[in-house]
Amino acid sequence: MCSQGGEGYRLLKEYASGFMVSQVLFAACELGVFELLAAAPEPLDSAAVSARLGASPRGTELLLAACVSLKLLQVDVSGGKAVYANTELASTYLVRGSPRSQRDMLMYTGRTTYVCWGHLAEAVREGRNQYLKAFGIPSEELFSAIYRSEGERLQFLQGLQDVWRLEGARVLAAFDLSPFRVICDLGGGSGALAQVCVSLYPGCRVIVFDIPAVVQMARTHFPASEDERISFHEGDFFKDPLPEADLYILARVLHDWTDAKCSHLLERLYQACRTGGGILVVESLLDADGRGPLTTVLYSLNMLVQTEGCERTPAQYRALLAPAGFRDVRCRRAGGTYDAILAKK
């Protein structure tokens, strides 16, 4: 039997308050706490932080204390009053402009993903995403819901910049892609992964294929559009002609869609792919039994509340790739959140 002070009860309390931890992180990012402290020439007390952020003194003091407990901030009381500075964790991952910053993806998670997760029970009952309940937006056209405004589209693309800044080199180096001279990144967004690709494989050329609104935003807001080795092509990969390439990259794409839509897309890619070419699928892979790793299991629930798809096991991806015609399917854990699957035509 679990006592009140036992491990089971401790875990229960930790799980139940997990949303509070997330909201401390999201709120501090949204308010600009970490940017303010990064720019300050010396640590600041709570009153100074409150004044510069235009936030209430009481609320600021409570938020800063929580950030200290979470090791996001450090506090120094040696001078007679508490002054705050960023920890290494915050300086590395939470300050915009840091080469490893994850701030934009956290902002997207806090403003969109978190809201959808408030309807998880309904998603489980209904078996579908929750954009209608969360934002009053129908999701028959999935990416019309995901990109529900110009600002939301930009936030999502900036978030993906954060993801591939840390994960891109790992997944693209899982296999030697140097034999593939022309690469097409389907659903490649801002060109963030394409930039990593041409950095790792200088001899390649990358075509980023995405819907017109995304391509236009990429050309306006993101540096990949200035690299002569990267070009952008507008279209819908379910119905429009696909650029001919030696390798197609599907990074965080198949997990958005049902098996039927994935099969349709893979069949189209097989027809477009040059003989001897292939496909690189980049996804967070479930264990063979589908019950781990925990992060990927949670991502799969996130696909339920936000998309039409799910995360899959290596065997499930093989079952999608083989009927489309792809062979020599190899799966590799890349050592991070995302893994790589390479298959040949």
Residues belonging to the active site: 255
Question: Is cis: bond before 241, omega within 30 of 0?
Answer: no
Whole-angstrom Cα distance, residue 152 to residue 307? 16
Structure tokens of 270?
């097989």
Structure tokens of 300?
């799969």
- Alpha carbon dihedral 110, 111, 114, 119, in 10-degree steps, equals 170
Three-state DSSP at 188 gives coil
Structure tokens of 120?
């998880």
Q: Is 307 exposed, middle or buried (0-12, 13-18, 19+ CB in 10 A)?
A: buried
Whole-angstrom Cα distance, residue 289 to residue 299? 16
The backbone torsions φ and ψ at residue 43, rounded to the nearest 5 degrees and listed phi first, read -55, 150
Helix residue ranges per DSSP H, 273-332:
294-306, 314-324
Whole-angstrom Cα distance, residue 306 to residue 11? 27
Whole-angstrom Cα distance, residue 265 to residue 237? 7
